[in-house]
Structure 1
Amino acid sequence: MTKTLTLGYSPCPNDTFIFDALVHRRIPLGDLDFQERLEDVETLNALALAGTLDMTKISYHALGHLRRDYALLRSGGALGRGCGPLVVAREAGEMSALRGQTIAIPGRLTTANLLLQLYGEGFDQVRIMPFDRIMEAVARGEVAAGVIIHESRFTYQGLGLHKILDLGQWWEETTGRPIPLGGILIKRSLGAALIREVDEALRRSVEFAFAHPQLSRPYIKAHAQELADTVIDSHIGLYVNPFSLDLGEEGLAAVTTLLARAEERGLIPPCELPLFGY
């Protein structure tokens, strides 16, 4: 009997690269089947909070609010070094000048916003907007600064913007850990056996993507048509790495450190359940 799971992820190149083999059955899946839904990260966070999806990419910030209903998978996530969100503004300056100012963020439950709040107090005057609109809003002076993610890291200078802070670099320097950006969650109610089966299938999907990178390119470009091949390659190279195959001990330590710091600041509720579902 076919087991069909609803699956959410973003149209960004790192996600379409990772999930291409899974949703197009380029790998053996047995009786598993996936019904995909592509949305921006904050929409995915909201869908997970509503319990809409069986399995979804989320921000690690959102994970802090979802741990009772969803378990974390070991594969498929975005975690690494040198890939964190950037705070940008029209003029060069210091973060202290932005306290009390309006800062655009790509979503309240994004890891980008969590890192901004963990950096210090006084940065809670935020305006939520789609990640691909933030740079233009900053350039037009609609907001004092913006926290940018994804391919915006590679293109902000083209709009004459200045980097105020690399939140990822700050995180790495203060914790010694890689940056947990986004992970893959699955409903705990599906049971340990199915969760393990899905996690193993997802790992095979990542392995296939690494082994046959050109096969996923049409799917990637269909959802990132405005991006040049060089930007797509840079994006995938930055966000898809060995941690995407398996979090491992180092990745798990990064995630638990982030959640612990957020709990200490009262930014997420405490939870005693184990992160993984098997």
Structure 2
Amino acid sequence: MEITIGHTPDADDAFMFYGMLSGKVTSPHFTIKHVVEDIETLNKRSLKHELDVTAVSAHACAYLKDYTILRSGGSFGKGYGPIIVAKQNLDVDKLRASKIAIPGKMTSAFLLLELMIGKFDYIEMKFSDIPDAVASGKADAGLVIHEGQITYDQKNLMKLFDIGTWWRDSTGGLPVPLGVNVMSNHFGIETIKKFDEFFRESIVYGMARPNEALDYSMQYGRGQAKETIDRFVRMYVNDVTIDMGVLGEQAIRSLFQMGIEKGFVPEFDLRIA
């Protein structure tokens, strides 16, 4: 059967899908049509149930209907995660009173920052525009994701807080749940599990051939040096990506339990394959 897959123009996603989309890993059950959109666009498309399989922010799952989270393909930070940057030092109280540039209200980074500091003033923009917005003074601080977590100092910005460190210390060492992949419940759980295994094989294939997969990922590198992309991919493609396991599932459930308790997300039925 043909299925439509949405993934982001990010090197870690491309690395995961390398085996599948290059045809090096095949399945007797699925043929793939893929679309590439930034994560907040995919979050919004998933609300309309436009894609069979799609990458989404973990946060977005609180608002989705008729999707199941796959066990493979998650982006989990192990002691690190989105960061807050600014031109000058700000404590938590000053940060809360500042205008913070965010990459979207459905991103996991946004929910994590709410959990960390409470409600705050923000301005939404494309994630890649955030460092420039902070450097120019359009925003007082920025919530930075993707390779911007590595390159922010090129804009003469300083890191104020690492949300991943806060999360690790707050949860007893759980990985930071940032991105997941979901599949439509219309396919039924057996088909979902078959695709999950197919995707897992693609991730394992790429991890066994990192140079090949990295070269493929560079087309989504946004002009960054290969060394930067390599470092970013290694941050977010790890053993929890192959299968979230007990700790990954516990991290997702903890994220939503904390969010529900604080009133930041609604109560909902969480489905994990």
The answer to whether the superposition gives a TM-score over 0.5 is yes
- The answer for the alignment partner of 1:33 in structure 2 is 31
Tell me, in whole angstroms, the C-alpha distance in 1 between the residues paired with 2:166 and 2:213.
33
The yes-or-no answer on 1:201 pairing with 2:198 is yes
Give the % identical residues.
Answer: 35
Residue 46 of structure 1 deviates from its aligned partner by 0.5
- The answer for the alignment partner of 1:170 in structure 2 is 166
Residue 225 of structure 1 deviates from its aligned partner by 4.5
Residue 211 of structure 1 deviates from its aligned partner by 1.0
TM, length-normalised to structure 2: 0.96
Residue 216 of structure 1 deviates from its aligned partner by 2.4
TM, length-normalised to structure 1: 0.94
Q: Deviation digits for residues 196-227 of structure 1, max 9, x if unmatched?
A: 11000000000100111222234312222401
1:70-109 equivalence runs, <5 A: 70-109=67-106
Report the AA paired with residue 262 of structure 2.
R
Tell me, in whole angstroms, the C-alpha distance in 1 between the residues paired with 2:119 and 2:194.
44
Secondary structure in 2 matching 1:28: coil
- The answer for the alignment partner of 2:12 in structure 1 is 14
1:1-278 equivalence runs, <5 A: 3-66=1-64, 68-123=65-120, 125-176=121-172, 177-272=174-269, 274-277=270-273
Residue 243 of structure 1 deviates from its aligned partner by 0.4
Tell me, in whole angstroms, the C-alpha distance in 2 between the residues paired with 1:246 and 1:78.
11
Report the AA paired with residue 73 of structure 2.
G
* Structure 2: unaligned runs, 5 residues or longer: none
How many residue pairs match? The answer is 272
Give the 4+ runs in structure 1 shifted more than 4 A. Answer: none
* Structure 1: unaligned runs, 5 residues or longer: none
Tell me, in whole angstroms, the C-alpha distance in 1 between the residues paired with 2:135 and 2:144.
13
Secondary structure in 2 matching 1:8: strand
Whether the aligned pair in 1 keeps the contact of 2:80 and 2:163 (CA below 8 Å) is: no
Tell me, in whole angstroms, the C-alpha distance in 1 between the residues paired with 2:117 and 2:158.
20
Whether the aligned pair in 2 keeps the contact of 1:100 and 1:122 (CA below 8 Å) is: no
